[in-house]
Structure 1
């Protein structure tokens, strides 16, 4: 298992992006969290197998219909603890 920190920018707040992310994570059986950032982007911390995480990132590059993703930055992180599920943080 590996962990990704993903930062998404563009028109990603106010368009259901966090809930879209949670739905995709649940579909792929991934654990972690998603939250809005003060800079207007979305940050995701997610754990799973590399191939599944890469598929998840592909979904995030598309986003829900009203969004416009301009950049997706992915960084592999060391797994320090396991997330029990996937949550939307407020």
Structure 2
């Protein structure tokens, strides 16, 4: 299955970015994970159908209302099917 992995930089911690990413992924039927990094970014691995991944990529460039997204880095990857979408701590 196709997936995307990467990081989002900007004001993305302390603004419910992970919670909103999970909600968006659940709504789009995507699986994977999202987590904060030690350098202040949010990292992710998201797996699903191409159209849902494209919608998620667009959303990640905007983020939730309280966030400010400065940069999003993506790379496409092939991964095995995952179950559910989780927030890693």
Tell me, yes or no, if structure 1 residue 83 matches structure 2 residue 82.
yes
Runs of 4+ in structure 1 deviating by more than 4 angstroms, as ranges, are none
Q: Could you list the runs of 5+ residues in structure 2 that have no partner in the other structure?
A: none
Coordinate RMSD, CA, aligned: 0.8
1:28-39 aligned at under 5 Å gives the runs 28-39=28-39
**What TM-score do the two structures reach when normalised by structure 1?**
0.94
Q: CA deviation at 1:60?
A: 1.1
Q: 1:52 aligns to what?
A: 52
Q: CA deviation at 1:53?
A: 0.2
Give aligned pairs, total.
Answer: 89
The one-character-per-residue Cα deviations of 1:66-90 (angstroms, maximum 9, x if unpaired) are 11000011100121x3210000000
**What TM-score do the two structures reach when normalised by structure 2?**
0.95
Q: Could you list the runs of 5+ residues in structure 1 that have no partner in the other structure?
A: none
Q: CA deviation at 1:6?
A: 2.3
